[in-house]
Structure 1
Amino acid sequence: MRRRIAVFSDTHGNLSALQAMYQDSIKQHADEYWFVGDLLMPGPSVGAMWDIFQKMKPTVIVRGNWDDLVVRGARGMMDMERPSHIYFARLAQYVAEHTSSAVIDEIASWPLHVTKRVGALNFGISHNLPWLNMGQALFPTQETANFDKLFNIAGETVDVAIYAHVHHELLRYASDERVILNPGAVGEPFNHWQPLQRDLRAHYLMLEVDAIGLAETSFRHISYDREQEKKLAEKSDVPYKDLYQKMMITGRAYTHDDELLTAYNDKFNYADDYQKYAKKINS
């Protein structure tokens, strides 16, 4: 018994990165795919991203915090209290305008946590903590006690925990030496240490599981054409396209830069756009 599993997450609408990762996984003879959350936004390619995702037919899917933002925003449920909320809302409006309500409903149905047995091992998969897909409790530099919470699953013993969210690939141990894995980010790898931050290739994890256990744990970094991704944004009507193109150069997100987002929100009237959209769909 051998299963080769491509574990990926945090694609964030980056079509060029997802295409490269998918092609590499085929060359690596992936038998199945596990998706650990955050499929869309802020990238421009909604329909094409969904098409590739359907081709992959992931056998495990969990819902990330940006997936929740897509659903809330697309359904007109986002508030305008902070510049970042307007950012999420306007991007989710763009998603809704470029896909069907059935896709939004499907994303809303994804679970927060899945357990999956492969061979002798039971895997627990969640975007962040099993009951919470946001926050910084599992940032790689946090204490081990935080990571132990990944195994607090009622009724089941988990041998290997897999999470995403922090955009850092990781292999570490819980306090009882169970294994914790993070595949890193396909669309937005991140590291505060600049020499490591320069590696903006698409990051994902290839696992091979046999009858004994983990036969292979391979963190893969796949090159792709970032200029091509910038051109896709330029040709689209995606909001904040300048920021997305800038991210293709720096690798840094601007999600919580209130001053910068306020300037964009005011210049393009994004809050008014979203309020009109929300009023229309909820009337």
Structure 2
Amino acid sequence: MKTRIAVFSDVHGNLSAMRAMYRDSRQQHVDQYWFVGDLLMPGPSVSEIWRLLKIINPSVIVRGNWDDLVVNGVRGKIDVKYPSHIYFARLAQYVGQSAPRGMVDEIASWPLHVTKKVGPLNFGISHNLPWLNMGQDLFPTQSTKNFDQVFTPADPPIDVAIYAHVHHEIMRYASDERIVMNPGAVGEPFNGWDKLHRDMRAHYLVIEVDDLGMASVNFRHVGYDRKAEQAIADQSAVPYVELYDLMMHTGRAYTHDPEKLTRLNQKYGYATQYLDYCKRLGQN
């Protein structure tokens, strides 16, 4: 018996890319979906993406670091000491003001790590490390011993580990030759090598498992209209729309660009807006 699984992650609020991924996955006749974290921010879409996630109805969901930022920011628990913190906080405020009822609490309940048996294989799924959904331990150029960490003790043992977070598609081996895979990013794929980075299509992964193991592995790249996504942002009230528009053009994220963030934070008073939002939360 064969099972086809669409594995996707790192949508980051990009509705156009998520729609394209979903359309393509239906053409691949997948049987189930696994979502490996980071649904929202910095893109403009919130309720539309949440509705689409419910339609997709993943059988596996794990919580990413940006999902934590959404939860903590909506609940008023991000400080505004640094430009990037203001960026996360103000974007989360926008999400909180647009979120369907119950969405934030549901995201907060997502686990960090899930084990799933398909056919003869035991898969371990997490956004980054099984116990930590942030950091650069699993950046593609890190050593093999770093990737050994994704195989936490389990009974039966994990055969294939799947993670996300680094926005690069990956298939490699651990020290004992178990397989590590990453679907790449739906909304924000990137690569340090310019010619490879030019492929800014929505990236995801289709795995077919049969009675012997993984019968096929298909890294999918699906085109979509980036100008249309930019138009969605321009017609919304999403903060930092200038940076999102720029990302649609360059494919680069500006999450840790203090110069750009400081300029926009000062121009719009984003820190004050978030602190006022936190005060209103305290009054309710």
Q: Would you call these one fold, judging by a TM-score over 0.5?
A: yes
Code of the residue aligned with 1:151 in structure 2: it is F
The answer to whether structure 1 residue 24 and structure 2 residue 7 are counterparts is no
Deviation readout 1:28-60 (Å, 9 max, x if unpaired): 001110000000000001011011100000000
AA of the residue aligned to 2:123: F
* Counterpart-to-counterpart distance in 1, 2:281 and 2:217: 46
Counterpart of 1:76, as a letter, is: G
Q: Distance in 1 between the 2:100 and 2:215 partners?
A: 41
Output the TM-score relative to the length of structure 1. 0.99
**Any gaps of 5 or more consecutive residues in structure 2?**
none
The aligned counterpart of 1:256 is 256
Mapping for residues 139-218 of structure 1, pairs under 5 Å: 139-218=139-218
Deviation for aligned residue 1:100: 3.2
For each residue in 1:153-211, what CA deviation from the matched residue of structure 2 results, as whole angstroms up to 9, or x when unmatched?
35441000000000000000000000010000000001000000000000000010111
Equivalent residue pairs, number = 283
Aligned sequence identity (%)? 65
Matches within 5 A, 1:1-283: 1-283=1-283
Change (3 A) 1:138 1:107: same
Q: Cα RMSD (Å) of the superposition?
A: 0.8
Paired with 1:193 and 1:167, the residues of 2 have a C-alpha distance of 13
CA distance in 2, matches of 1:10, 1:222: 15
Report SS of the residue matched to 1:216.
Answer: strand
Contact 2:3 2:208 in 1 (8 A): yes
Partner SS for 1:115: strand
Residues 205-241 of structure 1 deviation map (CA, whole Å, 9 limit, x = unaligned):
0010111100110000000000000000000000000
Deviations, residues 249-270 of structure 1 (Å, cap 9, x unaligned): 1000000001110000000000
SS across alignment from 1:204? strand
SS state at 2:102 partner: helix
Distance 1:154 1:6 in 2: 24
Matched residue SS, 2:272: helix
1: CA distance, partners of 2:153 / 2:43: 34
Shift in alpha-carbon separation, 1:156–1:74, aligned structure 2, 3 A: farther
Deviation at residue 244 of structure 1 after TM alignment:
0.2
CA distance in 2, matches of 1:12, 1:274: 20
Mean Cα displacement is larger for which, 5-14 or 92-101?
92-101
Offset of 1:282 from its aligned partner? 2.2
AA of the residue aligned to 1:106: E
CA distance, structure 1, for counterparts of residue 60 and residue 205 of structure 2: 14
- What secondary structure is seen at the aligned counterpart in 2 of 1:188? coil
Secondary structure of 2:68's counterpart equals helix
Q: Which amino acid aligns with 2:95?
A: V
**8 Å Cα contact 2:115-2:123 kept in structure 1:** yes
Q: Which amino acid aligns with 1:15?
A: L
8 Å Cα contact 2:47/2:100 also seen in 1: no
Q: Which amino acid aligns with 1:72?
A: N
Question: Structure 2 length as normaliser, TM-score?
Answer: 0.98
* Secondary structure of 1:124 counterpart: strand
Counterpart Cα distance in 1 of 2:63 and 2:99: 18
How many angstroms apart in 2 are the aligned matches of 1:154 and 1:269? 49
